Amino acid sequence: MTPLTETHVAAITHAIQLAIAPVFLLTAIGTVLNALITRLSRAVDRRRQVEEILPAYEGATRGALEVELGVLARRIVITMRAIVLAVCSALLVCLLIGTAFAAAFVSIDLSRPVAALFILAMVALTGSLLFFLREVFLAAQSVHPNAWPQPTRVDRT
Helix axes 59-102, 111-143, angle to 10 degrees: 160
Task: Give the sign of the dihedral formed by CA 94, CA 95, CA 99, CA 100.
Answer: negative
pLDDT of residue 144: 67
pLDDT of residue 103: 79
Taking alpha carbons only, the member of 76, 77, 80, 51 closest to residue 66 is 51
pLDDT of residue 100: 83
Each residue's pLDDT expressed in tens, for the chain with a length of 157 residues: 555 566 667 777 776 776 677 888 999 999 999 999 999 999 999 999 999 999 999 999 999 999 999 999 999 999 999 999 999 999 999 999 888 888 777 888 888 998 999 999 999 999 999 999 999 999 998 876 655 555 555 666 5
pLDDT of residue 146: 59
H and E: helices and strands count for the chain: 3, 0
Helix (H, G, I), strand (E, B), or coil: what is residue 157? coil
Spatial separation of the C-alpha atoms in residues 95 and 99, rounded to whole Å: 6
| pTM reported for the whole predicted model | 0.81
